[in-house]
Amino acid sequence: MTENIIKQLKFGLAVLFIIIALGTLGFEILEPEWDFLDSFYMTIITISTTGFKEVKPLSTEGRILTIFLIISGVLTIAYTGGKAAQILIENQIFRRRRMAKNLDVVHDHYIVCGYGLMGKQICESLTENKVSFVVIENDQVKIDKIIEKDYLFVNGDASNDDILLKAGIEKAKGLISVVKSDAENVFTTLSAKGLNPNIFIVSRAIKEDTEAKLRKAGADRVVKPYELSTARMINLLLRPGIIDFIDNVAKTKKHSISLEEINVSSKSTLNGKTLQESPIRKELNIIIVAINRNDGSFIYNPNSASVIEDGDKLIAIGEEKNLEKLADLCSGE
């Protein structure tokens, strides 16, 4: 449908160009005293019906040409403008329909509340890691930028239950709240946890005393940007080699090595096996840095006799392709 309209739009523009060319040439022939600029100017003001006075008195033939240009020009401009408007309207409708369809089917995704400086970086990282997500934002300027990026989004207040439901909060795996103020982050966290008690929530705290409120509201993790920045600067000063290594591992765009958290499901063939018995090290060449048990305890630098259990989270480092194979083994699918 849209392709046909685009062809019609191109046809209308071509006809308009031909009319302008014929009008300019016609005035030059019929009005000998006029040069090219006079003829072109007269053609433009005629087909656009601006009503400016003729550059010079018209002959009878010139008036007939003017009548032809007015009729043909107005019809062509109306036709072309109509097709252009139709394309814009259909694109808007198509985008909304596509957005609604994608929001209906999205699941096991993450919800990013707020598209400020942090929200933008979060979305870029999620895109790099090929993770599905939905952005919630109500600032039109930021929404325009989200549309340019072709991100899935919902226009509205992130603390509103209806907006969270549209973003698929009941089917989401996690939510990160980085909206403008601490109060909004608290309300967003509270609303999200109320709609989906099992969702994992990371929220930003700008003020020191907000962390306790966010945790009471249901945030599983609270991030304080100033503390993180300070800690990173100190580590860069005192332990630059360690930070460089972590950055190299974390930035998967330039390196094939990655650090991942992989969940072990009940269907996994790894359940009940020790690390030595599993193919993790000898076949996949993956290092298990730590195991996060179901009860919240951590086993750091587990030895070869450590047993893999249902519900474990394996903190693993290795090549991306091998980590994907390990993820398949852990999921049991």
**Residue 120 pLDDT level (bands cut at 50, 70, 90):** very high
Measured at the alpha carbon of residue 324, what is the angle toward residues 131 and 123, in degrees to the nearest 5?
15
CATH code for 107-228?
A: 3.40.50.720
Domain spans of the chain, in order of start: 2-102, 107-228, 254-331
Q: What average pLDDT does the chain have?
A: 85
pLDDT, one tens digit per residue, over 15-44 is: 888 888 888 888 888 888 888 888 888 888
- H-helix or E-strand containing 313? strand 313-319
Q: What are phi and psi of 263, to 5 degrees?
A: -85, 135
Q: What are phi and psi of 315, to 5 degrees?
A: -90, 105
Q: Where are the alpha helices (DSSP H) in the chain?
A: 2-30, 36-47, 60-105, 117-128, 140-149, 161-166, 182-195, 210-217, 225-238, 240-250, 320-331
Residue 114, both tokens: 């707020």
Strands 287-292 and 313-319: antiparallel
For 266, other C-beta atoms within 10 Å of its C-beta total 8
Mean pLDDT over residues 209-237, rounded? Answer: 85
CATH code for 254-331?
A: 3.30.70.1450
DSSP-assigned letters across all residues of 256-309 = SEEEEEEEPPTT-TTTT-BTTTSSTTTTT--EEEEEE-TTS-EEES--TTPBP-
pLDDT of residue 249: 65
The distance from CA 215 to its chain's CA centroid, rounded to whole angstroms, is 28
Residue in this structure with the two tokens 């009941």, named with its chain if needed:
170
Evaluate if residue 1 carries a pLDDT over 70: no
CA distances from 183 to 50, 188, 219 (A): 55, 9, 13
CATH 1.10.287.70 at 2-102, yes or no: yes
Cα-only R_g, the chain: 32
Mean pLDDT over residues 315-326, rounded? Answer: 88
Q: How many Cα atoms sit within 13 Å of 68 on the Cβ side?
A: 13
Measured at the alpha carbon of residue 291, what is the angle toward residues 290 and 292, in degrees to the nearest 5?
120
